[in-house]
Amino acid sequence: MTLVIPHGGELIDRINLNFNISTITHEIEIDTMALSDLELIANGAYSPLTGFLSKEDYESVLSRLRFKNEVVWSILITLAVTEEVADTLIIGRKVKLTYNNIVYGVLELKEKYVPIKVEEAKKVFQTTDSQHPSVKKLFSRPEVIKILIDGLFKT
């Protein structure tokens, strides 16, 4: 039996159950949407993603439905945090991602950027009407910062 080639040509496996988190002091409490995305990145379901979208890839997917490297992609996979949380994060440092005080991911901050939520709603959902359930959810997530984090996941 032949396996189907993963999207982007490589199956990503970011799961590392033996990752040492004892020296990582900073953590972010993530929401259920981020937890779901984290698990799908880690187990390869979002191949070829190895982390949340960079600003460059976010803007490219938003405008062209493909990554900057031309691989077709239509889902904006980002991690939303508040400005207060973003201000505590230092680029180049590792941070634990927790949900209900359980660590699910250990990631390294690469950049911070502000999303274009109205444009995102228009392009993805074809509306900015907050009565649309997905638009409502998008607009209710932290407003200010989305961050690219890349690293090893512990799931």
Task: Encode the chain in three state secondary structure.
Answer: CCCCCCHHHCCCCCECCCCCCCCCCCEEECCHHHHHHHHHHHCCCCCCCCECCCHHHHHHHHHHCECCCCCECCCCCCEEECHHHHHHCCCCCEEEEEECCEEEEEEEEEEEECCCHHHHHHHHHCCCCCCCHHHHHHHHCCCCEEEEEECCECC
pTM, 2 dp: 0.85
* Domain 11-150 = CATH 3.60.21.10: no
Residue 17 is predicted with a pLDDT of 84
- β-pairing, 94-99 vs 27-29, is parallel
Residue 82 is predicted with a pLDDT of 86
Residue 11 is predicted with a pLDDT of 92
Residue 155 is predicted with a pLDDT of 44
Regions in the chain scoring below 70 on pLDDT: 143-155
